[in-house]
């Protein structure tokens, strides 16, 4: 009878150990699957964010190119105007029409020349 009780106790302990081991294995497998799903979702989000970032960077780069082009065009127009003014000032017609101007006008022109660089 005592031997039978020991055998039953051994079988109960064995089955409870097996059940606990199987439960822990199942639990770890579920956790690993959930972690893999989470990592996959994170990777997909990272790829999506990188794609969006790349598009924004390309848009910014295009805007920079447009701004540089507009700036170059404005600079060319400004240089053409300055060239025209200098050509007129150095022409015979301007020298022929040269008369004394007021000190206020002279100072204004001198200050404007100093401001534009």
* Domain-embedded: residue 117: no
What's the domain range around 19? 2-110
Whose tokens are 């060319």? That residue is 76
* Domain-embedded: residue 88: yes
102: phi then psi, degrees, rounded to nearest 5: -75, 155
Element of type H or E holding 80:
helix 2-89
* Domain-embedded: residue 89: yes
The number of domains in the chain is 1
* Domain-embedded: residue 115: no
Question: For the CA atoms of 18, 20, 25, 30, what is the dihedral angle to 10 degrees?
Answer: 140
Give CA–CA dist 61/74, Å, rounded: 20
* Domain-embedded: residue 103: yes
Tokens at 112, concatenated: 């404007």
Per-residue pLDDT 10s for the chain (117 aa) are 888 889 999 999 999 999 999 999 999 999 999 999 999 999 999 999 999 999 999 999 999 999 999 999 999 999 998 888 888 878 877 777 777 777 787 788 877 777 654
Q: What counts of helices (H) and strands (E) characterise the chain?
A: 3, 0
* Domain-embedded: residue 116: no
pLDDT, residue 90, reads 80
């Amino acid at each position: 009878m005592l031997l039978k009780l020991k055998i039953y106790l051994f079988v109960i302990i064995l089955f409870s150990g097996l059940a606990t081991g199987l439960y822990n294995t199942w639990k770890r497998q579920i956790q690993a699957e959930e972690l893999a799903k989470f990592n996959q979702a994170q990777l997909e989000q990272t790829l999506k964010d990188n794609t969006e970032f790349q598009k924004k960077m390309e848009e910014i780069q295009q805007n920079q190119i447009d701004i540089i082009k507009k700036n170059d065009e404005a600079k060319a127009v400004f240089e053409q105007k300055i060239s025209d003014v200098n050509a007129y000032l150095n022409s015979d017609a301007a020298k022929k029409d040269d008369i004394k101007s007021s000190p206020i006008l002279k100072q204004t022109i001198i200050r404007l020349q100093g401001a534009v660089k």
